[in-house]
Each structure stands twice: as C-alpha cells, then as structure tokens.
Amino acid sequence: MSTNRFKKKKRVVIKIGSSSLTHLKTGKIDFIKLEKLVRQLCDLKNQNIDVCLVSSGAIAVGRNILGINKRPKNISTKQACAAVGQSALMMTYQKLFSEYQQTCGQVLMTKKTMTDNVSRTNARNTFEELFKLGVIPVVNENDTVNTYEIQFGDNDSLAALVASLIGADLLILLSDIDGLFTDNPKNNPDAKLVELVDKIDDTVLHMASVETGSDVGTGGMATKLNAARIATYSGADMIIANGADVEIIHDIMEDDFVGTVFTANKKDDFFIADFIEENMN
C-alpha cells in the first residue's frame, strides 16, 4: 500500500522504549540494536529531515550498573538509577552518533518545562537552534529530580509533548507491540490490529489496556493513546510500531510496515499546558 505519504515529513520525533533498547533476559543494553537505531536516525538526517529522539532506558541502564536485578518500586531508588544510567546512556549515544559524523545533544525536560510559558518558549527556542545547527536532540525526562515520567508512563506522553512543542509532523512510538489492537492480544487470540485511526473516540479509548508487557518498561496502551491525542491534536500523524527491529523506521518512511497510524486532527483550541493540567496530574 505504498503511497510515500511519510516521505514528505520534515520533522520527525522517534520514541524508543526501554524494552526495545535492552536484552530481554538480562535487561542490559542491546548495543547492536542501539547502533542500528542511530544509523536509521542519521540516514533520516541525511535526507534533510529534522530528527529528535526521545529515549527511555536511563533507569534500566542504571539499575544494571548498580547490580539491581529487578525494576525498583521505590521512587528514590529509581531516581538514583536514573542518575547513574542517564550519563552512561548518553555517552553511548554520543559515541555511536560520532561514528556517522553526527552530533547529538541531550535535552532533559520536566513537567514545568511544558506548563510554564517562559520555560516552554525557552525549550522551543533551544530545539530550533539545535535543528538549525544540524544536531539531533536526545530527550528524556529529568527523572533524577522529578517523578512525573516515572509515575506516568514510559516517555510516550513526553514524546508527544515534544512533538507538539517543536511542531513535528510525525511521531513514531517504537514499543514491544505491533500497534493498537481491538483487545489485548496476549489474552485474546482473536484480537485484531487496528491499522488506521482517523478519530480518537470512546470506542478507540476502550481498546486501551492498562497492562504492561515487560520488566523494564512502564508504558501501556493507555499512555500511547494519550500520546496520540496530544500529537494528533497538535497536527502530527502518530504511529505505533514494534521496535524489535529498528529498521522498521526505514519501512515506515517507505509506507510499508505493520503498525497503527493515527492521522493528524489539528485542533486550533488545543493548548499543551491546559491538557497537562487536565489529564496528567
């Protein structure tokens, strides 16, 4: 069904979850997958597309460095893991990007970044300058001092907020699932993949499962649908696709992939700060 509709995109945000960055059995970084991800992003950049990566994984990386076998439940322990893992993950990204002569820059955000008018404007200006300089921003929640992302969900909504902030026209959520299903496919073998969503109504919202599938991620389908509302209301298409093979990014740009597409449905009265206050407290 190739229509090349995504090749026309000029600014793309890609979010990858913890479970897509780590080995299932050990929870440690999958360097081969990470290298492939970086190569895909650099190839998009070489096509004159602004690229922004929203990366989970700081807590998962930190807990392995600290020898913590299971995902911690205590907020302070999670923050300690993030403090250790954040720098280690960024160092890995910088090394991999440099192999393709590409510069990346870390951007850490908090809830206040989006709700405060001055902070939001400053953040937008920073992103614009990074794009102007040819830098690929690597974004994560500043969860060493803030608990919002840790409590809310695996950076899905953060990625959508970033897409809205920078005026992206495409948001890709890479996860450990193929997309939105009519029911939880882990429990119902008759559940069917929903390939296209033109409108996020009560029927679509009812399909969301609050269950999460891995020990390293925290985001379920409910957070992804919340992200879809933010992205589409801001004027961006959003895609949920399986990040098991990150080369799916190339397939998406060729419009030849398995996943769910949420089409842009821009609302002129949509304001990020109001949405956060109403839905993310």
What is the full per-residue pLDDT of the chain (281 aa) written as tens digits? 446 778 889 999 999 988 888 887 887 888 999 999 999 999 999 999 999 999 988 888 888 889 888 778 888 888 898 889 888 999 999 999 999 999 999 998 877 788 888 989 999 999 999 999 999 999 987 656 655 554 445 588 889 999 999 999 999 999 888 999 988 887 888 889 999 999 988 888 887 754 444 444 444 788 899 899 999 999 999 999 999 899 999 999 999 999 999 999 888 767 766 777 666 65
Burial class (CB in 10 A: 0-12, 13-18, 19+), 2: exposed
pLDDT at 216: 40
Which domains does the chain show, CATH number per domain?
A: 11-279 (3.40.1160.10)
Residue type, 7: K
pLDDT at 210: 42
| E strand or H helix at 238 | strand 237-242
pLDDT at 150: 43
Rounded Cα gap, residues 51 and 163, in angstroms: 11
The bridge status of strand 11-16 relative to strand 170-175 is parallel
Contact 33, 20 (CB under 8 A): yes
pLDDT at 140: 87
Contact 105, 21 (CB under 8 A): no
pLDDT at 215: 41
pLDDT at 232: 95
CA angle 172, 177, 183 (to 5 degrees): 115
Q: What is the DSSP secondary structure assignment for residue 270, as one 8-state letter?
A: -
Q: What is the DSSP secondary structure assignment for residue 53, as one 8-state letter?
A: E
pLDDT at 1: 44
pTM of the full structure: 0.89
